[in-house]
Amino acid sequence: MSAPHPASTARDLLVRARAWLAQDPDPETRGELGDLIARAEADDAAALDQLRDRFDGRLQFGTAGLRGELGAGSNRMNRVLVAQAAAGFAAYLREREKERGSSRAPTVVIGYDGRRNSDVFARDSAELFAGAGLRAVLLPRRLPTPVLAFAVRHLGADAGVMVTASHNPPNDNGYKVYLGGGDGGSQIVAPSDAAIAACIRRIADEASVADLPRSDAYEVGDEAVVDAYVAATASVGPAPVGAGELRWVYTALHGVGWETFARVLEAAGYPSPTVVPEQIEPDGSFPTVAFPNPEEPGAMDLAYERADAEGAELVIAHDPDADRLAVAVPSGDGWRRLTGNEVGLLLGLRAARAASGSPGASLACSLVSSPGLGLIAQRYGLDFHETPTGFKWISRAPGLVYGFEEALGYLVNPETVRDKDGISAAVAFLQLVAEARGRGASVPDLLDELTAEIGLFASGQVSVRVDDVSIIASVMAALRADPPATFGELAVARADDLLQDPAGLGGDVLRYALADGSRVIVRPSGTEPKLKVYLDVRGESAEDAATRLEALEAAVRELLDRMS
């Protein structure tokens, strides 16, 4: 997300752009920016608009650290911005040690995925951390985000950085920050995020990137870290007897998940899947998908085609950094991707049964995820925590044994990874499937058994992608100024603005409880230019729930059409 500057004159923009160009070490973005400056100096209005878009704002830490489109400028992901972030983060870590009365050098682990410039940003960070006197450990190659999150805890590091934009569009990249020690290897939260941002801004205001000290005295991590992750993850869900008969298809969506996942499968005793060959190797251009997100329409079509050809009974997909998991099963003449809530509740039931009777054990999910997890926790005598959106909050729930978020994120092994992990979640889900298969049951049967325990929950989502993020702010403001009294024929029984929430959930979130027990939650995405609306209903039957959900979705779309 970006923080705006006041509206700038053409002269101000050109001054900022020239100062940025003078410190940019990247030939590609230097050429890009130099061309824009020359055109703007020649009174090219389009070039001036481009400079305004790139420099009238600055990427700031949001839900997942820094994340944005690649390109030159303070409002883009590039080597200048990453260098400022690395130097600022290093300053924060050194200052924190000094405040604690310690003179030791903090340790930072750096990982990166297969997106454009991920390796470059990671090496720049390692050099700058080392140059600032920190112990910097660069993971040995491009790896999934969960491996980096694991490494922070496994190595006892003070912090970690993962260069990834996860499931964002192909031309995005990002910079995800973790803290060790008392933070347990979780993503940053307040007040650390603001303190880090202040250090970054200080570096950006006071120093040229060209003058920041660098060193090649960083370490390259040992393969033993990856080996330890593989062993720990395989132990999450060892294959039961008969698992070898499972026929399934896997896609990495051009990401970095397969190499590590394949090793985990072998160690856990699962049969190798049929892979989608066009999508199995890392490719930062993502040639077969418009958006490398399993939630997006069409993203899993090649996997479905392969599954049809192979007579498979299951499809599993990871997003590009393998921290999210998608599952699909045959349905009529095609395939149905399970919702994040369906997978989350099945894994939650698995965790609850295992933890039943453990004092202080808890389940947790974000406030936009299915309320069914709370009923599972109650049924098995566990504590339950509803958190703000994001695994930086879920991972901090007291007594956590399992957490999930409806956006395909699952935390099944909190003792080793304090973040969502699509690989360990896949192993846990494969164990569920194999055990069910051994007694003649299928994934739909597991969902029926879940319904028998807690009732029938159905969920949906309406996402509105925009080119101008101000539209999102306008819609949220309009909803606050004139709250809806109904959604279709359903009256709003209670409306909550979580910016004013006394329970501490907080955030730019509007939540509506409807007269029939349904729920509507509206919030801006923290990682993409989207407005998201989450729908939850309960029904007497699958048909009843589907009808209720369809009517509620239509009402929400009608409301948004009027407001946008």
Just list the catalytic residues.
Answer: 166
CA distance 222 to 139: 8
- Cα 462 to chain center, whole Å? 18
381: left (phi over 0), alpha (psi -120 to 50) or beta: left
DSSP-derived pairing of the beta strands 486-487 and 456-465: unpaired
CA distance 445 to 480: 42
For residue 77, the 8-state DSSP code is B
CA distance 487 to 289: 34
In 269-300, alpha helices (H): none
What residues contact 115, with CB distance under 8 A and at least 6 apart?
A: 163, 164, 165, 172, 173, 284, 320
Instruction: Match 């080996």 to its residue by tokens.
Output: 227
Q: In which element (H, E) is residue 117 found?
A: none
For residue 106, the 8-state DSSP code is P
| Paired residues of 317 in beta bridges | 251, 326
CA distance 285 to 283: 5
For residue 259, with 0-12 CB atoms within 10 Å meaning exposed, 13-18 middle and 19 or more buried, which class applies? middle
The dihedral through the CA atoms of 405, 407, 410, 411 has a sign that is negative
What residues contact 378, with CB distance under 8 A and at least 6 apart?
A: 384
CA distance 403 to 387: 10
Instruction: Match 């044994």 to its residue by tokens.
Output: 401
The number of helices, as runs of H, and strands, as runs of E, in the chain is: 17, 24
Instruction: Match 């160009």 to its residue by tokens.
Output: 21
Neighbours of 345 (CB within 10 A): 29
